[in-house]
Amino acid sequence: MDEMLELVFRQAQAQFGSAIKRRWIHARDECPGCGRKIDDLNWKGQRALSLNAFMYREHGVLIAYLLCGKCGKAIHQGAEKNPGVQTELHAKIEETLRDYYLKKTGH
């Protein structure tokens, strides 16, 4: 997982340059989408974890997180149907993670 996070961080830095100053991972067992326990999902016949990230521009931080299988599947199916379009679930996840980041880092 550390290797995947490093890859995501480097890719984001290449894409957004100096706008990304640091990275942070949501290290909790609860899904930021629904509060359920984080677990795997069946994706195209394979067991997988849903590793995701978004840029919290105001603080220049890339926030990485895992989702439960239900939310992970919903996000990935939505991205296949409507690439680049954020859903209400995206908005909820990002709000939850921004609040948690601010609380944990004292910003």
Query: Which residues are CB-neighbours of 25 under 8 A, at least 6 positions away?
Result: 5, 63, 64, 65
H or E segment to which residue 63 belongs = strand 61-67
Domain contains 74: yes
Q: How confident is the model over 4-37, as pLDDT tens digits? A: 888 888 888 898 888 999 999 998 899 999 999 9
Q: Which domain holds residue 85?
A: 2-102
Read off the pTM: 0.86
Look at 58 and 3; give whichever has higher pLDDT.
58
Q: How confident is the model over 55-73, as pLDDT tens digits? A: 999 999 999 999 999 999 8
Domain contains 107: no
Domain contains 9: yes
pLDDT at 103 over 80: yes
Number of domains in the chain: 1
Q: How confident is the model over 67-91, as pLDDT tens digits? A: 999 999 899 888 889 888 888 999 9
Longest Cα separation, the chain: 42
